[in-house]
Amino acid sequence: MTTVEIFVGIFDGFRITATVTALGLLFAVPFALIFGVAQYLTKGAAHLAVTAVIEFWRSSAVIILLFVFYYVLPVIGIQLPAITVAAMVLGLNAGGYGSQAVRAGLQSLDRGQFEAAAALGLPRGHILALIELPQALTRMAPTFINQFIQLIKGTALVSLVTLTDMTFRAKEIAELEYNPVGVYTSLLLAYFVVCYPVTVFGRWVEQRSGGRKGLTNEF
């Protein structure tokens, strides 16, 4: 097999990598928003409960969570498809990190923003949705892009629960043919090809928000 053939073979797994990433986002984005906001708004017992859920997903090792949900849950009669387990575990892990960016973004806003909006008679939900979140999310955009890249790279683990992603394909090819250098270099390249455009996009987003700040200083 030529290097090109190996690379194309690995890219066979791209569909799974992309699917897990996309489904992962479906878990990650709502989790990050809901739990980040909840952690910002709640106090007392509710705050502790929200924090506990976030910390569970954020601080557990992804690989262990994958095994637990894929291999242990069936023992108590819960059988989830591998792709669901993978998307959920990776997504909620990324969402756990994302929630912290959401909360930090909200907390970093000047208190005067809330006060000015409240003084106009806006209800709490409107203040959050129209004043606080738009500013917090823009401010945190570079962090979200980084976390998105982490999610893509994290999908390499799903080969451990039998999904034929790019990493799994690389291992298959490596078994057929003794060329570890060619295979794993191609695998590195494959992830680079997927992630680099996102990095470029992230830089563009960062520059755009930085550009606005530049404008601010100018006047």
Partner 1 sequence: MSDGQSMRQAASWPAEIGQQHGARGPDQTAAVEAAALNKWFGSFHALKDINLAVPQGGRIVICGPSGSGKSTLIRCVNGLEPFQSGTVRIGGVDLTRDQKQLQKIRRSVGMVFQQFNLFPHLTVMANCTLALRRVLGKSRTEAADIAAHYLERVRIPEQAHKYPAQLSGGQQQRVAIARALCMNPKIMLFDEPTSSLDPEMVKEVLDVMIDLAADGMTMLCVTHEMGFAREAADQVVFMDQGSIVETASPATFFAAPSQERTRLFLDKMLR
For residue 173, what is the enclosing H or E element?
A: helix 166-176
- The residues in 122-151 that bind partner 1, with binding defined as CB under 8 A, are 122-124, 126, 130-131, 134-135, 138
Decide: helix, strand or coil at residue 43.
coil
Q: Which of 46, 49, 63, 116 binds partner 1 (CB under 8 A)?
A: 116
Largest CA distance in the chain: 70
The answer to the question of residue 110 lying near partner 1 (CB under 8 A) is: yes
Q: Which of 26, 49, 63, 120 binds partner 1 (CB under 8 A)?
A: 120
Q: Residues 6 or more apart from 159 whose CB is under 8 A from it?
A: 165, 167, 168, 171
> In 3D, which of 161, 31, 167 has the Cα closest to residue 94?
31
The site map against partner 1 for 176-215 (x = CB under 8 A) is ------------------------------------x--x
The answer to the question of residue 19 lying near partner 1 (CB under 8 A) is: no
The answer to the question of residue 171 lying near partner 1 (CB under 8 A) is: no
For partner 1, give the closer residue by CB, 55 or 206: 206
The answer to the question of residue 121 lying near partner 1 (CB under 8 A) is: yes
Q: Cite the DSSP H helix spans in 60-165.
A: 62-67, 82-107, 111-119, 124-126, 133-154
In whole angstroms, give the CA distance from residue 126 to residue 71: 44
Q: How far is the CB of 109 from partner 1 (least distance, A)?
A: 10
For residue 71, what is the enclosing H or E element?
A: none
For partner 1, give the closer residue by CB, 118 or 195: 118
